[in-house]
Structure 1
Amino acid sequence: MPSDAELLILSGPQVEPLLQPADVLAAVREAFILHSERKGRVFPLVRERLDTGGVFGIKSGDVQAQALLGFKAAGFWPANRGLGGEPHQATVMLFDPATGRPTCLIDGNAITTTRTGAAGALGLRELARPDSASLCIFGTGVQARIQLTLALALLPAIRQVRYLTSRGTPDAGFEAAFAKQGTVQHAIDANAAVTDSDIVITATPGRSALFAADAVRPGTHINAVGTDTIGKRELPEGLLDRARVFTDDREQCRTIGEGQWYDGFDVTEIGDLLTGRVQFARRTEDVTVFDMTGIALQDLTVARMLLQRAGEGGYGTRMHWPW
């Protein structure tokens, strides 16, 4: 049996310096294009609730022409907060499709955070009004922070940011993180904050609708980040019926995304927009929604980029892995 094979292991601290925003954005864009062109496959999703109170899932897929194969095992364990840990946990593994041999094991937490942030940035770039001056964000956690960071970098016209918390109280740490970017104000009235905003970002655990449908005024763009499991919800009933809806994967939108709450509506995959298979010219009065459920190809293209960067810079730990 071959005995000279190695498995590359990239821990969280080793991963984070390699996740340059431009590289991640390019990798995520490629993932959506591969999906649109059907060059990348997304395998059936596993998403199950556990007796421990956690949710465990597996997202897997491949790009046969690029010899890219792998999965991300991830989920959400809310009790971790009480242990001083991160509720979101993820691990990515890449394989050699010719032999099945594992080639790379990667801490997936930072991958999940940055690839989801990059997807949100692509949604804003393609769908939001470039002159958007006000933004409302629900949530102040890790994902909310990266979504807002990239939104402010992408849309310099934004001058006012309102945020809402589940507790209804201000988050001093969140405000301090964005103090240099301008005015970040805590809001209590969700409907009023939405009405006064050009962009709405929802980045919460998604247990119920966060605002009323009639609070969304014409011209608004919404990045819906949190709904990625059966039973989750962030957007109100009736909103998708009057919006132009985009998603990363049509089937996932209808099964685990915001589409699970609707019998039927038109939805466009954002990859089709990036490839030009679908044309969309925003009108002033259009309401647009990007329902972000997260697809395996995002994790795989980012993981492949990390594998390349690690090889170039000598990062990671290599373990003897005979097969």
Structure 2
Amino acid sequence: MPIDAHLLLLDKDQVERLMQPADVMEAVREAFVLHSDREGRVFPVVREALATGGIFGIKSGDVPSQGLLGFKAAGFWPDNRKRGGEPHQATVMLMDPATGRPLCVIDGNAITTLRTGAAGAWGLKTLARADSASVCVFGAGVQAAIQLRFALDHLPALEKVRYVTYDGQPNPQFESAFSACCDMSLAMDKNDAVATSDIVITATPGAGALFDAQALQAGTHLNCVGADTQGKRELPDGVLARVTLVVDDREQAKRIGETQWAPSTPSVELGDLLTGKETFHRQPTDITLFDMTGLALQDLTVARMLYQRALAGRMGSSIPWPW
């Protein structure tokens, strides 16, 4: 690398212009496959509470055969809402594995949102009943919206949506984003919404059980997003014992995912299902659960796509970054 090397910066607007959902789906699938084949490594996650009230984390990994190395520094700062900002914050850095030099710094909020939505879609496509027509969504924020958007895009039979908010009040902005493409309404009873839905999506801060265990019926699929830190949970006791459990990373799910509450539960990694290393033939009464903790490889494959597109299109801000 020459002494006059440069560092590329991609801000939020540039990332959003470069990123298309279909391409993110493929990049996320590649991440699952790389993880299954053990070509990509996922390093131990850092996830720590701060004195400021925020939670700071680092997810990192590499793909040696592809020269891909990097990390995402991210977390959750709830007080940002009082400042008029987004509580979720993320920054991705790609690095040259041969020299350790940074190549690109990317606003990671949109990456996190879309890659998590895409991961959820792969869970649904792989595990949910193909005729699933109804969904119950816990949450009405950014992640709940992207999970629902990908679900509607990839499950053609899905048409009825019931959503649950933390205060039981309707969210007009959330409803208006989807009311034109589905039958959407606020759930009056969370347990009834779970019991009458083919799919349950939980996308909350993970402060505690969201519904009663007995509400969960045979044949349901769950995508669980909110448990991403030790101590977080969205499911009541007893659910994991009833499900076919699928995770993105087995050890990570035991540390910070929903699986932490029953770590001895047998599980399969989604990447192994996508590669055919493991098989699952859903029966009508099976309850399936995808415990989503987020793979660093997902951030890196999406970031690499953005970096390559930005270079080809001469986008971003290139600043001197000499040795």
**Aligned-CA RMSD value:** 0.9
Post-superposition offset of 1:188? 2.7
* Worse overlay, 307-316 or 48-57: 307-316
SS at match of 2:17: helix
Quick one: distance in 2 between partners of 1:285 and 1:179? 30
SS at match of 2:237: coil
Post-superposition offset of 1:18? 1.1
Partner of 1:293: 293
Post-superposition offset of 1:2? 3.3
Residues 251-270 of structure 1 aligned to structure 2 (within 5 Å): 251-270=251-270
**5+ unaligned residues in a row in structure 1: which ranges?**
none
What letter matches 1:150 in structure 2?
A: F
Post-superposition offset of 1:182? 2.2
Partner of 1:239: 239
1:69-124, Cα deviation, whole Å (9 max, x unpaired): 00000000000000000000000001000001100000000000000000000000
Quick one: distance in 2 between partners of 1:170 and 1:258? 27
Partner of 2:198: 198
Quick one: distance in 1 between partners of 2:158 and 2:46? 38
SS at match of 2:180: helix
Post-superposition offset of 1:159? 2.0
Partner of 2:23: 23
Partner of 1:59: 59
1:278 has 2:278 as partner:
yes
SS at match of 1:180: coil
What letter matches 1:203 in structure 2?
A: A
Quick one: distance in 2 between partners of 1:35 and 1:131? 29
Quick one: distance in 1 between partners of 2:281 and 2:204? 30
Quick one: distance in 2 between partners of 1:47 and 1:295? 14
1:218 has 2:218 as partner:
yes
Post-superposition offset of 1:263? 4.4
Partner of 1:143: 143
**5+ unaligned residues in a row in structure 2: which ranges?**
none
Quick one: distance in 2 between partners of 1:204 and 1:56? 17
What letter matches 1:271 in structure 2?
A: G
Partner of 2:117: 117
1:156-179, Cα deviation, whole Å (9 max, x unpaired): 211210000001111111111112
What letter matches 2:295 in structure 1?
A: I
Residues 29-108 of structure 1 aligned to structure 2 (within 5 Å): 29-108=29-108
1:2-23, Cα deviation, whole Å (9 max, x unpaired): 3221111000111011110111
Q: 1:263/1:250 Cα in 2 relative to 1: closer, same or farther (>3 Å)?
A: closer
* Worse overlay, 209-218 or 48-57: 209-218
What letter matches 1:120 in structure 2?
A: G
Quick one: distance in 2 between partners of 1:170 and 1:2? 57
What letter matches 2:140 in structure 1?
A: T
Quick one: distance in 2 between partners of 1:44 and 1:71? 11
Partner of 1:309: 309
Post-superposition offset of 1:34? 0.5
1:119-152, Cα deviation, whole Å (9 max, x unpaired): 0000000000010011100000011111111111
Quick one: distance in 2 between partners of 1:182 and 1:72? 35
Quote the sequence identity (%): 65
Quick one: distance in 2 between partners of 1:56 and 1:263? 24
Quick one: distance in 1 between partners of 2:103 and 2:15? 16
Quick one: distance in 1 between partners of 2:153 and 2:108? 24
What letter matches 2:5 in structure 1?
A: A
Partner of 2:177: 177
1:9-47, Cα deviation, whole Å (9 max, x unpaired): 000111011110111000000001101110000111100
